[in-house]
Amino acid sequence: MALARLAELHGVATSYSPSDDVTVQVPDTTVVAVLAALGVDASTPGAVRAALARGERAASGRL
């Protein structure tokens, strides 16, 4: 769940719908790789928690 929230903060999709009745979940390894390409370390659960905390602090500062 934390990885999905981190992905959301950075605009990374965790699923897609190729048709109306099908939703495909993106593998966690793919989400981690996309986040890494964006400069976000999500390589371990601890890294995800730290990045999520930083991202949420930054988001709350923009409100």
Concatenated DSSP letters of the chain: -HHHHHHHHTT--SEEEEETTEEEEPPHHHHHHHHHHTT---SSHHHHHHHHHHHHHHHHHT-
Residue 62: the pLDDT is 67
Band of pLDDT at residue 61, cut at 50, 70 and 90:
confident
Segments making up each domain of the chain, as ranges: 2-61
CB 26 within 8 A of CB 15: yes
CA distance 54 to 23: 30
Tokens of 25: 């979940």
Q: Is the pLDDT of residue 12 over 90?
A: yes
The pTM for the full model equals: 0.88
